[in-house]
């Protein structure tokens, strides 16, 4: 079991959601919540982290490679297992919806993860990928932090909308919907933003829905 870079910073990472990241997190949730009623169950979050998204959205199960973050997720009532997205212990066709929420940048082998998600999903299942876009103000800022040796962001590979969509479609999915939000930068976000339909350049948080072809 390899140590995750999140292990040493787990509590600091988790506290961000109640502090500097509070409004940003609420903005991301505002883009996701309207989608939930139409998503087939059961639900799984790959890269569940400390369970912040799962607890707010009602995602029952999660998997993550950080032991320390999983401990926090368990305290939030999420049923979690240790593991990575390329290979999980769940049987094939177990889930109606699989979520990737701010996880995309930290996936080592995106093609392998997407292939495995396709195996995990039931027929007519849905992938929800909410990622931080490299061309938005938040993503661009994290890229610069990574270049400066930030202990977390130096491990990240942030992508653009076209790159993310290309990867998803190459894995055999059809993108059925896109929403954009988080246009204000870290220093300028003072209230929750409303999501916009489609990909809008400048958005930092973009959500794609996709189904298997």
The pLDDT of residue 152 is 66
pLDDT value at 1 more than 60: no
Mean pLDDT of 25-37: 97
Higher pLDDT residue, 179 or 188?
Answer: 179
Mean pLDDT of 27-50: 97
Supply the mean pLDDT for the chain. Answer: 93
Of residues 181, 165, 184, 163, the one with CA closest to residue 173: 165
Burial 72-106 (b: 16+ CB within 10 A, else e): bbeebebebeebbbbebebeeebbbbbbbbbbbbb
Treating both helix axes as pointing N-terminal to C-terminal, what angle do 110-120 and 161-170 enclose, rounded to 10 degrees?
50
Q: Residue 137 and residue 134: Cα distance in Å, rounded?
A: 8
pLDDT per residue as tens digits for the range 45-67:
999 999 999 999 999 999 999 99
pLDDT per residue as tens digits for the range 153-166:
677 889 999 999 99
Ordered by where they begin, the domains of the chain are: 7-212 (3.40.50.150)
The pLDDT of residue 140 is 84
Residue 64 burial (C-beta neighbours within 10 Å; 0-12, 13-18, 19+) = buried
The model's pTM: 0.94
Of residues 204, 49, 64, the one with CA closest to residue 142: 204
Say whether the peptide bond before residue 178 is cis (omega within 30 degrees of 0).
no
In what order do the strands lie in the sheet containing 196-197?
79-82, 61-64, 43-46, 95-101, 121-132, 205-212, 173-181, 196-197
Higher pLDDT residue, 138 or 160?
Answer: 160
The pLDDT of residue 144 is 82
pLDDT per residue as tens digits for the range 115-137:
999 999 999 999 999 999 999 99
Higher pLDDT residue, 188 or 98?
Answer: 98
Find where tokens 């290309």 sit. 166
**Contact of 141 with 133, CB cutoff 8 Å:** no
pLDDT value at 168 more than 60: yes
Q: Residue 158 and residue 153: Cα distance in Å, rounded?
A: 9
Opening angle at CA 192, ends 186 and 196, nearest 5 = 95
């Amino acid at each position: 079991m390899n140590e995750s870079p999140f292990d040493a910073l787990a509590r600091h990472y988790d506290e961000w959601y109640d502090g500097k990241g509070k409004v940003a997190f609420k903005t991301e949730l505002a883009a996701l919540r309207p989608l939930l009623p139409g998503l087939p169950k059961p639900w799984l979050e790959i890269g569940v982290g400390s369970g912040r998204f799962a607890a707010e959205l009602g995602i029952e199960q999660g998997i993550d490679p950080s032991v320390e973050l999983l401990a926090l997720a368990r305290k939030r009532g999420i049923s979690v297992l240790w593991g990575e997205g390329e290979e999980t212990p769940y049987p094939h066709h177990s889930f109606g919806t699989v979520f990737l929420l701010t996880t995309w940048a930290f996936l080592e082998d995106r093609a392998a993860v997407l292939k495995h998600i396709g195996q995990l999903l039931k027929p007519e299942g849905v992938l929800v990928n909410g990622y931080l876009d490299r061309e938005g103000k938040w993503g661009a800022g994290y890229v610069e932090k990574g270049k400066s040796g930030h202990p977390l962001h130096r491990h990240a590979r942030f992508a653009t909308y076209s790159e993310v969509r290309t990867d998803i479609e190459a894995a055999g999915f059809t993108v059925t919907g896109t929403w954009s939000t988080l246009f204000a930068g870290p220093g300028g976000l003072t209230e929750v933003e409303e999501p916009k339909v489609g990909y809008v350049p400048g958005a930092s948080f973009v959500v794609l829905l996709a189904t298997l072809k």
